Amino acid sequence: MLIERQSLAQEIPAVAGQETRQLCEILAALGFPVDGVSTTEGTDVLDVDITANRGDAMSHRGMAREVAAKLQQPLTPLPDEGVNEGAALVEVRLESPACPIYATAILELGGGETPEAAQHFLRCMEATPKRLAAVDASNELLLRYGHPTHAFDADKIRGALRVRWAQAQETLVTLDGLTRTLTSQDLVIADESGPIALAGVMGGDSTKVTAETRRVLLESAWFDPKTVRAMARRHSLHTDASHRFGRGADPAMARVARDLLVARLQAWCGAKLQGAWTAGAVPQAQSPIPLSEGLLNRIAGEALGLDLAEASLVRLGCQVARDAQGLRAVPPSWRHDLTIPEDLAEEVLRLRGYEHIPSTLPPLEGPPEHLAPAYLQKQRVARRLAQLGFHQTVTYGFISPEVDAPFSGPANPVEGRTLANPLGYEYSVLRGSLLPSLQATAEQNLRQGARQVRLFELAPAYVSSPAGPVERATLAVVWGGILGGEDYLSPARAVLEADLTGLAKDLNLPARPPVHRLGEGLFGIEVAVADLPLPQDRIIPSFRAFSRFPSVERDLSLLVDLDHSYEALHGAMAAALPGDCLQDLRCVDVFRHKNLPEGRQAWLMRMRFQADRTLVGEEVDGWVASALAAAESLGAKLRA
């Protein structure tokens, strides 16, 4: 909302002497931060941020009320225009509780147009003066006093006015020229011909004021906020009027604004009042809201006391009474946001200034809770991977169905994971796997010239279920490009599938996860975080004795078929060796060469033995011979 300094000062003279910067600070302290200040036509215009609950503050008068309460300075009284009401010239029937009051008047317009001062004000508000007195006056009034009004061309209205619910499929051409098809939840102003305005949102084209208009019928009513909000949303019509009615206008302003509008037209273009009247009445004031001293002091964090509360609330326009329980405040007609005791307490603190709130740490009432194992698990694995040289990524949770499909499989149909209103097709399904996102990120990095990509992500993957997508905390890692070759000691080589298997081993995965080939030299693994082994409960595990006797190492170079199973060979050899003395058995080199018999390769198997005694050469020779025999039984041969 734009606020023009001098116009604000007209409502509260005390701010006339203040610097704009000071004024901004006062407004911010009241909960209305100023987003920016611009100088328009020689005056400062403040762009004030107003929260959705404060429709009452969306005007110069509304802002002035707040500042006046804060500074304890008087507001300029609203002008009493002395408009006398008489008999209705046109019957106005209020047929819905959504419009309890409708003040109106008919004027015969004279010559003359919007005065320069009003045009200047409108320009400062970034509104274009229409040079039609009735239209400009209504706009000026709204921005100055916050109450939306409307002027109809009185000669175009046929018969009685009804404020009623529209019938479904009725149509109305609004001022913007669009034909609106109405529903039974739309509140309209109608005459005998049908709807002529969307109540509180926008007038109709058929009755709009033009340069030819001779007589105007003014509307200054009050419409139910919820009804107006729904209409504005339904018709995507967010107007100055709908903003104010939608957030709650002041019903007591209906007559006042009508009078102000009448007086403007009289003054600006010599209009002659033919009659003014009001249908309905200002609705009953809200019921009183209680505030106890205990609640006030608990919220405030100090003993503020009810006297201060009463004084503050009175300054804000509340009617306050005291009783044994504390005080009871009836909010002013413009404050629809005050409904519960906490609201009143907030007002007291707000006027006093939040800077006065004391500061203290809350006492601990029970033992703190531990961090959940699932959370710690994610922290731990993220740190481990970062230590190993991997970069944590954050990618969107939704992807294109095409890239999702190869990784999710038929058991996880996309239908259960599809968004109703995605940003676009490529963001339309909740991903069943993190790998497509990581693959795209890796490829992007490689395209950008990275020699090597090491990426991981911890995020939910989604599994379709009848009850909706089920989230599974998931870890995915991708690795690709060239390892080493960046210093004189580390030879360069391509990242291989085995590197991912080794990584899985480092993470202590219970089962070897499948390694996905995501592209040339790009591999990925994906596991559920729940499948990662939890660290042991014990800080330090039980002591396990280890031998201090020397260990013995023996190598066997075995010729095996190119498609021989290492797992089978390892199993057979290990089974043939004494378990209590075998420390380690593993292939430490694979040799493939054209000099080897065709279809064969050489595996260098290394055995390490250790026992609680010094091992004797002969017994180790015996073991190695049995291991060899076991290997030979599977088709392996000792390499000469």
- CB-count burial class (<10 Å; 0-12, 13-18, 19+) for 620: middle
Please state the φ and ψ torsions of residue 419, each to the nearest 5 degrees: -80, 145
Mask: binding to another protein, 409-448, rule CB under 8 A, as x and -? ------xxxxxxxxx---x--x----------x--xx--x
Nearer to another protein, 374 or 498 (CB): 374
* Distance of closest approach, residue 398 Cβ to another protein, in angstroms: 8
Please state the φ and ψ torsions of residue 630, each to the nearest 5 degrees: -60, -40
Single out the residue of 88, 135, 121, 79 nearest to residue 256, CA to CA: 79
Compute the distance between CA of residue 478 and CA of residue 463 in angstroms, rounded to an integer: 21
Compute the distance between CA of residue 15 and CA of residue 64 in angstroms, rounded to an integer: 9
Compute the distance between CA of residue 580 and CA of residue 166 in angstroms, rounded to an integer: 91
Nearer to another protein, 271 or 381 (CB): 381
Site size toward another protein (CB under 8 A) is 94
The reply to whether 518 sits near another protein by the rule CB under 8 A is: no
Residue with tokens 């009848």: 466
* Distance of closest approach, residue 444 Cβ to another protein, in angstroms: 7
The reply to whether 231 sits near another protein by the rule CB under 8 A is: no
Nearer to another protein, 382 or 577 (CB): 382
Nearer to another protein, 419 or 575 (CB): 419
How would you classify residue 169: left for phi > 0, otherwise alpha for psi between -120 and 50, otherwise beta?
A: left
The reply to whether 488 sits near another protein by the rule CB under 8 A is: yes
The reply to whether 346 sits near another protein by the rule CB under 8 A is: yes
Of 13-52, binders to another protein (CB under 8 A) are 28-31, 33, 51-52
Out of 322, 383, 493, 505, the residue judged to bind another protein by CB under 8 A: 383
The reply to whether 354 sits near another protein by the rule CB under 8 A is: yes
* Distance of closest approach, residue 591 Cβ to another protein, in angstroms: 26
Of 52-81, binders to another protein (CB under 8 A) are 52-54
Nearer to another protein, 35 or 323 (CB): 35
- Name the one range near another protein by CB under 8 A: 117-125, 149-157, 351-359, 589-597: 351-359
Mask: binding to another protein, 441-460, rule CB under 8 A, as x and -? x--xx--x-x--xxx---xx
Single out the residue of 24, 25, 30 nearest to residue 353, CA to CA: 30
Out of 85, 113, 343, 499, the residue judged to bind another protein by CB under 8 A: 343
Nearer to another protein, 442 or 556 (CB): 442
Please state the φ and ψ torsions of residue 348, each to the nearest 5 degrees: -65, -45
Nearer to another protein, 249 or 455 (CB): 455
Q: Are 585 and 573 in contact (CB under 8 A)?
A: yes
Out of 76, 392, 508, 565, the residue judged to bind another protein by CB under 8 A: 392
The reply to whether 342 sits near another protein by the rule CB under 8 A is: yes
Compute the distance between CA of residue 7 and CA of residue 24 in angstroms, rounded to an integer: 15
* Distance of closest approach, residue 445 Cβ to another protein, in angstroms: 5
Single out the residue of 627, 636, 612 nearest to residue 555, CA to CA: 627
Contacts of 618 (CB under 8 A, 6+ apart): none
* Distance of closest approach, residue 339 Cβ to another protein, in angstroms: 10
Nearer to another protein, 233 or 517 (CB): 233
Compute the distance between CA of residue 265 and CA of residue 216 in angstroms, rounded to an integer: 10
Nearer to another protein, 97 or 510 (CB): 97
The reply to whether 462 sits near another protein by the rule CB under 8 A is: yes
Of 88-117, binders to another protein (CB under 8 A) are none
- Name the one range near another protein by CB under 8 A: 11-19, 142-150, 314-322, 468-476: 468-476
Nearer to another protein, 212 or 415 (CB): 415
Out of 361, 539, 540, 545, the residue judged to bind another protein by CB under 8 A: 361
DSSP label of 156: G
Of 308-337, binders to another protein (CB under 8 A) are 337
The reply to whether 551 sits near another protein by the rule CB under 8 A is: no
The reply to whether 358 sits near another protein by the rule CB under 8 A is: yes
Q: Can you give the three-state secondary structure of 240-300, one letter per residue?
A: HHHHHHHHCCCCCHHHHHHHHHHHHHHHHHCCEEEEEEEEECCCCCCCCEEECHHHHHHHH
Compute the distance between CA of residue 611 and CA of residue 294 in angstroms, rounded to an integer: 77
Nearer to another protein, 314 or 423 (CB): 423
The reply to whether 303 sits near another protein by the rule CB under 8 A is: no
Please state the φ and ψ torsions of residue 249, each to the nearest 5 degrees: -85, 180
- Strands 470-483, 522-528: parallel, antiparallel or unpaired by DSSP? antiparallel
Nearer to another protein, 81 or 346 (CB): 346
DSSP label of 391: E
Nearer to another protein, 414 or 572 (CB): 414
- Name the one range near another protein by CB under 8 A: 123-131, 182-190, 282-290, 486-494: 486-494
Alpha helices in 278-400 (DSSP H): 293-300, 306-315, 341-352, 373-387
Contacts of 359 (CB under 8 A, 6+ apart): none
Single out the residue of 508, 105, 513 nearest to residue 272, CA to CA: 105
* Distance of closest approach, residue 540 Cβ to another protein, in angstroms: 23
Nearer to another protein, 115 or 422 (CB): 422
Cα-based angle 441, 447, 450 (whole degrees, multiple of 5): 85
The reply to whether 604 sits near another protein by the rule CB under 8 A is: no
Compute the distance between CA of residue 211 and CA of residue 111 in angstroms, rounded to an integer: 11
* Distance of closest approach, residue 356 Cβ to another protein, in angstroms: 10
- Name the one range near another protein by CB under 8 A: 75-83, 148-156, 389-397, 604-612: 389-397
**C-alpha gyration radius of the chain:** 40
Q: Are 146 and 254 in contact (CB under 8 A)?
A: no
- Name the one range near another protein by CB under 8 A: 85-93, 209-217, 387-395, 572-580: 387-395
The reply to whether 272 sits near another protein by the rule CB under 8 A is: no
Nearer to another protein, 31 or 317 (CB): 31
Compute the distance between CA of residue 22 and CA of residue 350 in angstroms, rounded to an integer: 17
How would you classify residue 316: left for phi > 0, otherwise alpha for psi between -120 and 50, otherwise beta?
A: alpha
Per-residue tokens: 214: 């001779």
